[in-house]
Amino acid sequence: MSASPLCGKTALVTGASGAIGRAVALALAERGARLFLSGRDPGRLEESRTAARTAGAAEADALAADLGPDGAVAALAARLEERFGGADLLVHALGAYGAGPVAETPVEELDRQLAVNLRVPYRLTRRLLPGLIERRGQVVFVNSSAAVHPRGGVAAYAASKAALRALADALRDELNPAGVRVLSVFPGRTASALQEEVHRLEGTPYRPERLLQPADVAAAIVAALELLETAELTDLHIRPMKK
């Protein structure tokens, strides 16, 4: 079987201490990519790095950091460039969630979610743009079905994710002429610690077997990344299979 076109490519995956970020890292590792992983939880991030090496990553490095502060984004980018020279693939899998009706949600909570879900991806993408353009790379924004189908009780979250979708669409229009592809992924409810907390807040039983599995989302993302350069998948909507 021929090698994956991702073999030897360098991928920066944020949110790699979370369920989807870790699954994407492992899927890329299985295809021989070189990985630089970022996440907020040092212990879980180290588990992701170790698992990626076991799965076949050509190389795997990690930096635990809260990317909210502006300096943290610059430090992450500098470490990536020092270690690997830049990235061919940039996967934004980090995110923040909060729930509550508008009447009860202070503007500070909106600001928090915008900072993580929009500002961090914006700053990091902008910082790495020269290298992505030089390498004719790819950018993936792991978004949410809430960006497309907002509902009551998650206005701040849905707004931040809708803004992320707009960022991806505009970026794609700007970068396609340079050969850079941009993908937005809109997963439905995915089995994860985050969804367990969401179900707790909703007062509903958490049944992970009825939800999307992180590996399913990762498989779809990697399939899109492996497309030949004559094609681009722009929006990927994936939901749990109805049973």
Does residue 210 carry a pLDDT above 90? no
Does the structure show a pLDDT above 90 at 3? no
On average, the pLDDT of the chain sits at: 94
pTM of the shown model: 0.95
Q: Examine the residue annotation and report whether 206 is marked as an active-site residue of this protein.
A: no
Output the pLDDT for position 80. Answer: 97
Q: What CA–CA distance (Å, rounded) separates 87 from 93?
A: 15
Determine the pLDDT at residue 191: 80
pLDDT at 243: 67
| Residue 1 to residue 175: CA distance in whole angstroms | 32
What is the predicted pLDDT for the residue at 120? Answer: 97
pLDDT digits (tens, 9 = 90+) for 40-73: 999 999 999 999 999 999 899 999 999 988 789 9
- pLDDT recorded at residue 125: 98
Q: Assign 1 a pLDDT band (cuts: 50, 70, 90).
A: low
Q: Which residue has the tokens 């430090």?
A: 75
Residue with more model confidence, 242 or 170: 170
**Tens of pLDDT along 151-209?**
999 999 999 999 999 999 999 999 999 999 999 999 988 888 778 777 787 788 888 78
Q: Single out the catalytic residue among 97, 122, 157, 206.
A: 157
Helix and strand element counts for the chain (H, E):
8, 7
What is the DSSP annotation of 137-154? -EEEEE--GGGTS--TTB
Q: Where is average pLDDT lowest: 26-30, 167-171, 205-209, 234-238? A: 205-209
Say if residue 93's pLDDT is above 80. Answer: yes
Give whole-number Cα distances, 71 to 75, 78, 124, 231, 235, in Å.
Answer: 6, 11, 11, 36, 31
Q: Which residue has the tokens 């089995």?
A: 191
Q: Give the C-alpha distances (Å, rounded to integers) separating 209 from 97, 138, 192, 213.
A: 22, 31, 11, 8
**What pLDDT is stored for residue 81 in this prediction?**
96
Can you give the pLDDT at residue 207?
85
154 backbone dihedrals φ, ψ, rounded to 5°: -135, 35
Mean pLDDT of all residues in 211-229: 95
User: Quick one: average pLDDT of 24-43?
Assistant: 97
Q: For the chain, first and last CA: distance in Å? A: 35
Provide the β-strand partners of residue 62.
37
List the domains of the chain with CATH numbers: 10-237 (3.40.50.720)
